[in-house]
Structure 1
Amino acid sequence: MMDLENKVEEEKKSRWCLLPDLVVWMVKDRLGMFSNARMASVCRNWWYASLSYPNHESAPPICIMQPANNKNSSSCYDFICTATSQREEEKFTVNLPDFDEAKLLFSKHGWLLMKRKYSLFLFNPFTKVRINLPDVKDSFGHFAGSFSFSTSLKQPQCVFIFTYLVHGILWLGIAHPGDKTWTEYNYVNQRIESVSARNVLAIGQKVFCFDNHGVLIIYDLVTQIWREVDRPANDYFGWYMVHQGEIMKVPSKYDSRGGQPCPDSFRIFRYNDDSTAWERLSYDDVKVKDTSWFLNTQGCCFSAKGHGFKVYFLNQPLVGLASCRLGIKRRRSEMPISDTFHARFHDMIHRTSQSLFPYEFSRTASWVNLA
Structure 2
Amino acid sequence: MPYENKGTDVNWSSLPTLLLWTIKDKLDIFDSTSVAAVCRDWRFGSLNYPKKQVVGDGMPWIMQENGKEDTSSHEFISITGKKRFSLDLPELRNSQVLFSKQGWILMRRKNFGDSYERLPDSLFLMNPLTKAKIELPDVAEIWEYYGCFSTKSGNPEQVVLLGAGRSCDTVLRTNYIGDVVWNKHTSIDHPIVFEGCRGLISIKEQIYYTNIWGKMIIYNMVTHCCQEIPGSRNEMGVHYLVEHEGNVIKIFATDYSEKACFRISRYSDSHTNWQRLSNDEMNNISLYLSRLHNCFCVRDRGLNAYVLQPDYGGLPRSRILLGHNVLCYDIVDGNTQVLQLPFEISASAKWVDIG
- What TM-score comes out, normalization by structure 1 length? 0.73
CA contact (8 A) 1:64 1:81 kept: yes
Match of 1:101 in 2: 94
Tell me which amino acid in the other structure corresponds to 1:347: D
Match of 1:250 in 2: 251
CA contact (8 A) 1:62 1:83 kept: no
Match of 2:295 in 1: 301
Match of 1:230 in 2: 230
Match of 2:61 in 1: 63
* Structure 1 counterpart SS, 2:278: coil
CA contact (8 A) 1:263 1:346 kept: no
CA contact (8 A) 2:325 2:345 kept: yes
Aligned counterparts of 1:337 and 1:143: Cα–Cα separation in 2: 21
TM superposition shift of 1:183? 1.1
> Is it true that 1:138 corresponds to 2:132 in the alignment?
no
> Is it true that 1:274 corresponds to 2:270 in the alignment?
yes
Aligned counterparts of 1:68 and 1:221: Cα–Cα separation in 2: 39
Q: Write the deviation string for residues 215-239 of structure 1: whole angstroms up to 9, x where unpaired.
A: 2221112323222222221123201
Match of 1:125 among 128, 143, 153: 128
What are the residue-to-residue correspondences of 1:1-371 with 2, within 5 Å?
27-28=1-2, 30=4, 60-70=58-68, 74-82=71-79, 84-85=81-82, 90-117=83-110, 118-139=121-142, 141-151=143-153, 154-187=154-187, 192=193, 195-235=195-235, 236-254=237-255, 260-285=256-281, 288-317=282-311, 319-320=313-314, 339-356=322-339, 357-371=341-355
Structure 1's 224 and 47: CA in aligned 2 closer, same or farther, altered over 3 A?
A: same
Q: Write the deviation string for residues 150-198 of structure 1: whole angstroms up to 9, x where unpaired.
A: 22xx321111111121223222111122221111102385684x63333
Aligned counterparts of 2:318 and 2:207: Cα–Cα separation in 1: 42
Gaps of 5+ in 2: 20-47, 111-120
Aligned counterparts of 2:179 and 2:67: Cα–Cα separation in 1: 35
TM superposition shift of 1:111? 0.8
Tell me which amino acid in the other structure corresponds to 1:277: N
Structure of larger gyration radius: 1
TM superposition shift of 1:120? 1.0
Tell me which amino acid in the other structure corresponds to 2:322: D
Structure 1's 367 and 182: CA in aligned 2 closer, same or farther, altered over 3 A?
A: same
Aligned counterparts of 1:225 and 1:266: Cα–Cα separation in 2: 32
Aligned counterparts of 1:175 and 1:289: Cα–Cα separation in 2: 36
Aligned counterparts of 1:123 and 1:318: Cα–Cα separation in 2: 31
Q: Which structure carries more relative contact order (alpha carbon 8 Å, separation 6+)?
A: 2
Match of 1:19 in 2: none
Q: Write the deviation string for residues 326-360 of structure 1: whole angstroms up to 9, x where unpaired.
A: xxxxxx96999861211221111221122332443
CA contact (8 A) 1:315 1:341 kept: yes
Number of aligned pairs?
309
Aligned counterparts of 2:79 and 2:342: Cα–Cα separation in 1: 11
Aligned counterparts of 1:30 and 1:261: Cα–Cα separation in 2: 35
Structure 1's 185 and 334: CA in aligned 2 closer, same or farther, altered over 3 A?
A: closer
Structure 1's 318 and 119: CA in aligned 2 closer, same or farther, altered over 3 A?
A: closer
TM superposition shift of 1:100? 2.0
Aligned counterparts of 2:158 and 2:191: Cα–Cα separation in 1: 29
Aligned counterparts of 1:75 and 1:335: Cα–Cα separation in 2: 28
Match of 1:8 in 2: none
CA contact (8 A) 1:60 1:305 kept: no
CA contact (8 A) 1:238 1:250 kept: yes
Structure 1's 32 and 271: CA in aligned 2 closer, same or farther, altered over 3 A?
A: farther
Tell me which amino acid in the other structure corresponds to 1:244: E
CA contact (8 A) 2:169 2:192 kept: no
TM superposition shift of 1:311? 0.4
* Structure 1 counterpart SS, 2:200: strand
RMSD: 3.4
- What TM-score comes out, normalization by structure 2 length? 0.76
The answer to which structure has the higher helix fraction is 1
